Amino acid sequence: MSDPRTDLDVGQALTAWMAEVAPDRAPARLFEETFAKTMQASQVRVYPWHKAAIGSLGWGRGRSRALLLLALVALVVAATAVGLSGVGFRATVPPIPSPSPAPSVSPSIAPSAALPSPISVTPEATIANQQPIAMIAAGAALWVMAPGRLDRIDPKANAVSGSVALGPTTDLYNGLAANATGLWATDSDAAVVYRVDPKTLKLVATIPAGLSSKGVFATDAGVWVADVHGGSVLRVNPKTNKVVATITVGPTGNSGPNWLANGLGSIWVDIPNNDTIVRIDPVTNKIQATIPASAGHTPCGGIAVGTTAVWITGCSVTSGMARIDPTTNSAGAVVSLGGYGYNPTLINGVPWVSVDTGNAATGRLVRIDPVTNTIDRVLVPGATFGGGGDIAVAAGSVWVVDGYNNTIFRLPLTAFGS
């Protein structure tokens, strides 16, 4: 692996990658994509002993150098063993200086508590949609991104009412956003952002954006794009369709800035390759805070910003959702989801996430109690549900992506409680 992680992290990443490339499932938003891409990159890694040639030392004349080398190797092995035992060794890129106070020792993921009994929910509608990746609500419609296209769902007809071709997209880990000026979709393969007119269903601009554009969030003031390989967040001016600011938030290379959110006076972005979450001032484009992630939690999933907490899911190797205190800019509790949750959504002010437990029939929707940081409500929509997809609220209902079964479920809002 080219990113500076411990050997344990590498083992977990490889396990997740091997599980990803062979499952029997439709494409969904699986965030270990960055690890899969790393597998395709150069695997050069420099260790201290690469600079010494033991065979050329000669045991007599170079004995002291050989002993020194062996001691160095022993020291590295011992340090690695400490890291693997969980004592606290974490090989990370030094974080960007931040005005945030240094947090106390971050908690690890707590053991899973017993889940409440699942509540079966009968869908109001079931809409077929091939290979859904991302979904948002905008205007009077739902918008679903799939490989190479963007579909519009009409809530009145409960059906796809139009599509826009975005290009021969093969990368399944792209983002979708909307503001008053249009729809915005990333294509990390082509390193561009597509701008779509929602009224005419036409592609109106293709905007070059960094090395590999991934997450995207659109506000009234601009469009924010995570350059996952460029280590930066880009700001696009919708008036000119050009990048007008580049904010460096981490190192370049694989597993960089992933997903974005807006709230509490900040643009939020998670960066897995240095285990941080960064707050950006949307007015000045300056970094407001760089927040180290909770121990044992790699921040690379979706972000939901509430009034008192920010919720961030992790990579598939961590299967938890972390809580950030926006007042102190510190990471707090990590809620074990018992599966892989990717994009949390606030419904009635509390976080919900769709959980993928590994097959097409055992997914679930879970609610987190922000007081106890535990799962306090579990919903199971339909007879078969895979979980793991996006959730959106529109037209008095909750809409849920099921990538396993190529389906969008429309569920009654009342099922999600008060």
Count of H-run helices and E-run strands, the chain: 3, 30
C-alpha–C-alpha distance, residues 77 and 23, integer Å: 35
DSSP annotation of 326: T
State how far Cα 83 lies from the chain centre.
Answer: 25
Percent of the chain with pLDDT over 90: 68
The residue written with tokens 């699986």 in the block is 30
Q: Tell me: pLDDT of 285 over 70.
A: yes
Q: Contact, 339 vs 355, CB < 8 A? A: yes
C-alpha–C-alpha distance, residues 332 and 293, integer Å: 9
Q: Tell me: pLDDT of 136 over 80.
A: yes
Q: Tell me: pLDDT of 213 over 60.
A: yes
Q: Which two tokens stand for residue 390?
A: 């996006």
Of 174 and 77, the one with more pLDDT: 174
Mean of pLDDT values over 292-303: 94
Burial class (CB in 10 A: 0-12, 13-18, 19+), 48: exposed
- Work out the pLDDT band at 171, boundaries 50, 70, 90: low
- Tell me which H or E stretch contains 70: helix 63-84
Instruction: Quickly list DSSP for 261-315.
Output: EEETTEEEEEEGGGTEEEEE-TTT--EEEEEEPPTT--EEEEEEE-SS-EEEEE-
Q: Tell me: pLDDT of 38 over 50.
A: no
Q: Tell me: pLDDT of 74 over 70.
A: no
The residue written with tokens 């970094």 in the block is 287
Give the HSE-up count for residue 259: Cα atoms under 13 Å, Cβ half-sphere: 27
Residues in CB range of 255: below 8 A, 6 or more apart: 3, 34, 35, 38, 228, 272, 273, 300
Mean of pLDDT values over 131-154: 95
C-alpha–C-alpha distance, residues 154 and 177, integer Å: 18
Cα 349 to Cα 307, 345, 394, distances in angstroms: 8, 9, 15
Can you give the pTM of this predicted structure? 0.76
Mean of pLDDT values over 1-19: 37
pLDDT of 83 reads 35
Mean of pLDDT values over 145-172: 91
Using one digit for the tens of pLDDT, what is the confidence trace for 313-359?
Answer: 997 667 899 999 999 999 999 999 999 999 999 999 999 999 999 99
Instruction: Dihedral sign for Cα 178, 184, 187, 193, please.
Output: negative
- Tell me which H or E stretch contains 33: helix 33-40
- Work out the pLDDT band at 392, boundaries 50, 70, 90: very high
- Tell me which H or E stretch contains 119: strand 119-121
Q: Give the range among 90-94, 163-167, 196-200, 392-396 with minimum mean pLDDT.
A: 90-94
- Work out the pLDDT band at 24, boundaries 50, 70, 90: very low
- Tell me which H or E stretch contains 50: none
Q: Which superfamily is assigned to 119-416 in CATH?
A: YVTN repeat-like/Quinoprotein amine dehydrogenase (2.130.10.10)
C-alpha–C-alpha distance, residues 215 and 256, integer Å: 11
C-alpha–C-alpha distance, residues 198 and 269, integer Å: 26
pLDDT of 218 reads 97
- Work out the pLDDT band at 113, boundaries 50, 70, 90: low
Give residue limits of the domains in the chain.
Answer: 7-84, 119-416
Using one digit for the tens of pLDDT, what is the confidence trace for 198-212?
Answer: 999 999 999 999 999
